Amino acid sequence: MSVHVCDVLIVGAGPAGTAAAIALSDAGRSVTIVDKATFPRDKCCGDGLTTLALRELEALGLEPGRVDGWFDVYAAWLRSPSGRVVEAPLPTTGLYAAVAPRRTLDNELVQLARRRGVTVYDGHGFNSIDTTSSEHVDVEVDSLGTVRCRYVVAADGAWSPVRKALRANIDGYRGEWHAFRQYASNVTGPAAQRLIVWFEEDLLPGYAWSFPLPGNRANIGFGVLRDGSRRVQDMAELWRDLLARTHVVEALGPDFELEGRHTAWPIPARIDEVSLTLGRVLFVGDAAAATDVMTGEGIGQALLTGRFAAEAIIAGGATQPEIVQNRYEHAVDHHLFADHRMSKRLGAVLKHPAGARGAIRIVAASGAWGRRNFARWMFEDEPRAIATSPRRWHRRLLTRPGAYLNR
């Protein structure tokens, strides 16, 4: 088998991997991505894009018009366990939320990486890794052979084969959340245009959602805490029960139809506990358990950690892996750890029906300004933990526009 040589090998062509690849390629590094899947491929996900994700995508140069199924969102409708429904509009200074199917979003990111000079081998899975050399890493890839590189960015998901091969995984770890999703067509109710979040009493601190897509379609699903009391086998029954609830049927319309099969997946949200680096290997996205522990949102965090990994490699160069490690770990700590801790605290409040009812009641009573800023707080990563992290304060903290302002 031949030896393929590059500066950086990225295992995984999702948002984290492609974000790292594009940033590295733009900086003049030779970059190769391998992924066992052949694109386009689907990914179990709610398909929601927060402000963080949108800003990162805009910075990468992704054009929403190239993503089939992209849907701009300008408000969220929240339903309390008591049945109270509140509209929370988003600011109009740019885009703060959107929905984009992962099949088309991830495929466009792969194509964008190719256009920016990245070599992409989809349909080629990771086999093994050799980190014994102090100067390079050798990775065996299906049908490709040995890839020799200075650094490896492991963007290979919650079950990260690279992490497992390096024995850096957490034994028995199955993620903090269960999530369950299916697409629906012929959506004729308000859900055809509205992003809806249902805080159902039996799901707390989790929630159910309906995210709109073009053509009277929607991504609908729910996420629940993995607390030992729920079995994966019970989720299909819970799904059927949820879809029969009156307020859900009213939102979707009486004639909505489910497409294909439902899918379930674990959500890892333990970035403050897992190892982020090991020698010349950096873990990003789900492989770094970089998901919001309160909302289950992970696309923005994936893009961000991918960019941080690229910036660290660029700063440290080929001969200084210690600088690369330190810079990457510091960036993740600075930008994500405070939000992670704040999300844990808020999740503890929303765990109780009284807490969820109280939160929605406060939003309803806060007036137009309060509802607008609550929606921004919900969808924008930055303000959430700002009170506890003054080192992140800056002049435009409360006035920064959303993404794609001049689109």
Q: Same CATH topology for 3-73+96-173+270-344 and 177-267?
A: no
Q: How far is CA 257 from CA 244, 291, 403, in A?
A: 13, 30, 33
- 241-264 pLDDT, tens digit per residue, is 999 999 999 999 999 999 999 998
Which structure tokens are listed for 384?
């959430």
Q: Which amino acid is at 39?
A: F
Q: Which amino acid is at 46?
A: G
Q: Domain limits of the chain?
A: 3-73+96-173+270-344, 177-267
Q: How far apart are CA 391 and CA 142, in angstroms?
A: 45
Question: What is the pLDDT averaged over residues 288-298?
Answer: 85
CB 283 within 8 A of CB 163: yes
* Residue 303 binned pLDDT confidence (cut-offs 50, 70, 90): very high
DSSP 125-137: -EEEEE---SS-E
- 29-72 pLDDT, tens digit per residue, is 999 999 999 999 999 899 999 999 999 999 999 999 999 999 99
Model confidence at 127: pLDDT above 90: yes
CB 21 within 8 A of CB 118: yes
Residue predicted with more confidence, 139 or 342: 139
Q: What angle do CA 318, 25, 67 make, to 5 degrees?
A: 145
List CB contacts of 214: < 8 A, sequence separation 6 or more: 69, 70, 71
Residue predicted with more confidence, 234 or 71: 71
CATH T-level assignment (fold) for domain 177-267: D-Amino Acid Oxidase; Chain A, domain 2 (3.30.9)
Cis peptide before 401 (omega within 30 of 0): no
pTM score: 0.92
What's 3-73+96-173+270-344's CATH class?
Answer: alpha beta
CB 13 within 8 A of CB 101: no
pLDDT of residue 353: 80
User: Which value, in Å, is the radius of gyration of the alpha carbons in the chain?
Assistant: 21
Strands of 150-206 (E only): list them. 151-154, 177-185, 195-198
Percent above pLDDT 70 for the chain: 89
pLDDT of residue 111: 98
Which structure tokens are listed for 37?
């899947």
Instruction: Return the sign of the alpha-carbon dihedral for residues 18, 90, 295, 72.
Output: negative
List CB contacts of 399: < 8 A, sequence separation 6 or more: none
Terminal-to-terminal C-alpha distance of the chain? 47
CB 320 within 8 A of CB 151: no
- 338-392 pLDDT, tens digit per residue, is 776 766 666 666 777 887 788 788 777 877 777 777 777 677 766 555 555 656 6
For 298-315, b where at least 16 C-beta lie within 10 A, e where not — what string?
Answer: bbbbbbbbbbbbbbbbbe
pLDDT of residue 393: 55
Question: What is the pLDDT averaged over residues 127-153?
Answer: 96
Percent above pLDDT 90 for the chain: 66
